[in-house]
């Protein structure tokens, strides 16, 4: 099987829409992109509104092209806010600061546990038909492809899949398409203006992101503040000797200044600077 791990950001949206064009045209205009057996999106519970706009647009395009599209409920946000400080929770790469000034970052397991493994289990149990606990058949060892939406400038992130069933594929890297190329394709071919996809409380956001959602998505911003207050008011299990922060500036979100937020990541398109969503 050929599966697209769909995050609803620029890159995976470009792959899904290219697959739709391939499904509806002969010859296929994008021969390095397969017509996927399944496009799978993990709903983590708190993304900026544009992520769900991009997801719904792509879902409709896939349905029109006859490509199976699945949304999995993977409640990272709900699990975290219910359990943080009460019991062990998934490790999110929060920025840390000790009282002696030492700075570090927590390990990142959220993507692996709430996206990669969730999709792998769904494919194994629901699409291929394994029973839970059933051993992997030899004919399925590294027999299936998991496609990832990494663009060419992210080729350093390309890794082998540790799951014995899958081989990772990175068509945008193979096609040498950078983020701006994907943005241009989606906008000019499909009329959709896209941004990057991530949880709203992802620590990899630039501070500008939090200023943007404060001004444009107040309910999302309020939920991010609630997460930040949890990090301030509770200690994780097991306890740590560091304070935890969402912002890379190691400040509380509500304390960020305009100067702190002058850090938007942008790329050039048609002579103008476009914010990428981070």
Q: How confident is the model at residue 215 (pLDDT cuts 50, 70, 90)?
A: very high
Res. 70: pLDDT tops 90: yes
pTM: 0.95
Is the Cβ–Cβ distance between 144 and 167 less than 8 Å? yes
Max CA distance (Å), the chain: 64
Res. 132: pLDDT tops 90: no
User: Chain-wide mean pLDDT for the chain?
Assistant: 96
Res. 191: pLDDT tops 90: yes
pLDDT at 247: 98
Q: How confident is the model at residue 95 (pLDDT cuts 50, 70, 90)?
A: very high
The first and second tokens of residue 44, run together, are: 């983590």
Distance between CA atoms of 94 and 202, rounded to whole angstroms? 8
Q: How confident is the model at residue 133 (pLDDT cuts 50, 70, 90)?
A: confident
pLDDT at 43: 97
Cα distances from 1 to residues 4, 11, 13, 147, in angstroms, run 10, 20, 19, 11
Architecture of the CATH domain 2-199: 3-Layer(aba) Sandwich (3.40)
pLDDT at 205: 98
Distance between CA atoms of 39 and 184, rounded to whole angstroms? 22
pLDDT at 199: 97
What residue ranges do the domains of the chain occupy?
2-199
* Model confidence pLDDT, tens digit, residues 29-50: 999 999 999 999 999 999 999 9
Distance between CA atoms of 26 and 152, rounded to whole angstroms? 27
Res. 66: pLDDT tops 90: yes
Nearest to 39 by CA among 11, 57, 19: 19
pLDDT at 21: 98
Distance between CA atoms of 210 and 84, rounded to whole angstroms? 22
């Amino acid at each position: 099987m050929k599966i697209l791990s769909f995050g609803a950001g620029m890159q995976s949206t470009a792959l899904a829409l290219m697959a739709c064009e391939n499904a509806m045209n002969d010859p296929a205009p994008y021969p390095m992109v397969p017509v996927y057996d399944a496009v799978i999106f993990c709903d983590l519970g708190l993304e900026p509104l544009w992520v769900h706009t991009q997801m719904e647009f792509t879902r409709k395009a896939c349905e029109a092209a006859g490509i199976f599209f699945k949304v999995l409920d993977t409640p990272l946000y709900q699990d975290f806010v219910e359990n943080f400080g009460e019991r062990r929770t998934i490790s999110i790469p929060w920025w840390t600061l000790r009282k002696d000034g030492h700075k570090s970052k927590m390990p990142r397991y959220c993507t692996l546990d709430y996206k990669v493994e969730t999709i792998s289990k769904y494919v194994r149990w629901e699409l291929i038909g394994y029973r839970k606990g059933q051993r992997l058949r030899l004919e399925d060892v590294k027999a299936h492809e998991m496609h990832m939406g990494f663009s060419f400038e992210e080729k350093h992130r390309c890794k082998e899949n540790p799951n014995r069933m899958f081989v990772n594929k990175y068509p945008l890297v193979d096609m040498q398409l950078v983020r701006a190329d994907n943005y241009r394709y989606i906008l000019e071919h499909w009329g959709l203006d896209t941004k990057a996809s991530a949880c709203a409380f992802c620590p990899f956001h630039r501070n500008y992101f939090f200023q943007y959602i404060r001004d444009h998505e107040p309910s999302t911003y309020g939920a991010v503040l609630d997460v930040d207050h949890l990090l301030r008011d509770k200690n994780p299990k097991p306890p740590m000797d560091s304070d935890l922060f969402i912002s890379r500036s190691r400040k509380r979100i509500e304390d960020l200044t305009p100067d702190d937020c002058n850090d938007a990541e942008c790329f050039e398109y048609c002579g103008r600077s476009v914010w990428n969503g981070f």
